[in-house]
Structure 1
C-alpha cells in the first residue's frame, strides 16, 4: 500500500535521510526505533506529506505522491506529531475538527466513545482543554486522530506523556484499528513497547535504515 524508493532528504547541505527504501502493507504495524536525532521524525514527516523528499519517490496505492492533491492524501495518510497540539477552547473543538475538514457532520457519540476508550470518560465534550494535564491532552490528540480511520497512521512518540497503564490502553486502541486494515508506523524510544504487537521493527541511524527485524 505504501512504498518508499531510495528516499532521501537534505537541508542546508546536511543529509538527514539517506536512500531509505521500505514497503508497508495494508494492516501492517512497524515500530520505528533508533537514537535521538537519527532522522525518524523527518522520515515520518515525509511519509505524511508535510515535507517532500529531495531524492527518491514515495508511492501510495501504486501512485506517486505528486499524483494526489496534498489535502486528499493527508486524509488517508494521517500524521500525529510528537508535540501536543490542541486548539480552540473545548474538547469538542478538537474532536470536531476532522469532520469540519471533511465537511461532514460531527459524530458526538463516536467522540464520547473514543474519549472513554482513551480513559477520559470523566470529561464532557464541552469541557475546557486548558485545565487538562499533559497526558490528558495527548490522549485528546489521539482521540482526534482516530475520529476517522486512515489507511496509514503515523505516530511520533504518541504515548510519551503517558504512564504505563494509559500507554497500554492506547496501544490496544491502535492495534485494534491495525486489525481492521490500517497500516501503522510508530516511532518509539520505549524498547518494551517496540517489541509488543508490531509485525516489524526497523532501526534508523544517521538517516539510514540499518536494521529490519520481523516479529518472529
Structure 2
C-alpha cells in the first residue's frame, strides 16, 4: 500500500532522516519507536504530505504522491499529531469538521458511536470541549480523526495523555479498524503498548531505521 524509497529529509546541514526504506501492507499495524529526536515525527509528517522529502520518493497504492491532489491524499491518509488541535466550542464542532471539509452532511450516528468507543458516552455532542480534561480532549481529537475511516492512519503519541484503561479502549478501536483493512503507523513511547497488537516494530535512531522486528 505504501512504499518509501530512499527517503531523506534535511534542513540546511542537519540530516533528520537518512535513506529510509519502508513498505507498509494493507491492514498492517506498525509501531514506530525510538528516542526523542530520532526522526519519528518527521517521518509521519512526510508520509502525511505536510512536508516533502529532500531525497527519495513515496508511492501510495502504486502511484507517486505527486499524482494525487493534496485533498484526495488527505482523505485517504489521516494524520493525528501529538499536539492537541480543537475546533470551535463543542464536541459536535470538532466531530463535524471532517464532513464540513468534504462538504458532506454530518453523520451524527457515527459521532455518537465513536464517542462511546473512546469512553466519552456521558457527554452530549453539545458539550463544551474547553471544560474537558486533557485526556478527554485527546479522545475527542481521536474520534474526529476517525469520523471517516482512512486507508492509512498515522498516529503520533495518540494516547500519551490517557490512563491505561482509556489507552486500551483507543487501541481496541484502532485495531478493529486494522482488521477491516486500515494500515496504521503509530509512534509510541509506551513499551507495553508497542508489544501488544502490532505486526511490526520499527526502531529509528539518528534518522535511520535501526531495527525492524
Q: TM-score scaled to structure 1, two decimals?
A: 0.98
1:186 Cα deviation after fit: 0.2
1:12 Cα deviation after fit: 2.1
Partner of 1:86: 86
Structure 1 residue 189 corresponds to structure 2 residue 183: no
Structure 1 residue 145 corresponds to structure 2 residue 145: yes
Runs of 4+ in 1 over 2 A off after TM superposition: none
Partner of 1:201: 201
Secondary structure of the corresponding residue to residue 129 of structure 2: coil
Partner of 1:160: 160
CA distance in 2, matches of 1:89, 1:123: 14
CA distance in 1, matches of 2:57, 2:19: 10
1:131 Cα deviation after fit: 0.4
Partner of 1:120: 120
CA distance in 1, matches of 2:21, 2:64: 14
CA RMSD of aligned residues (A): 0.5
Structure 1 residue 31 corresponds to structure 2 residue 31: yes
Unaligned runs of 5+ in 1: none
Partner of 1:40: 40
1:98 Cα deviation after fit: 0.7
CA distance in 2, matches of 1:101, 1:44: 22
Partner of 2:101: 101
Structure 1, residues 120-157: CA drift from partner, whole Å, max 9, x if none?
01101011111000000000000000100000000000
Unaligned runs of 5+ in 2: none
Partner of 2:16: 16
Tell me the matched-pair count.
213
Q: TM-score scaled to structure 2, two decimals?
A: 0.99
Structure 1, residues 142-180: CA drift from partner, whole Å, max 9, x if none?
000010000000000000000000000000000000000
CA distance in 2, matches of 1:204, 1:75: 27
Structure 1, residues 31-78: CA drift from partner, whole Å, max 9, x if none?
000001100000000000010000000000000001100111011011
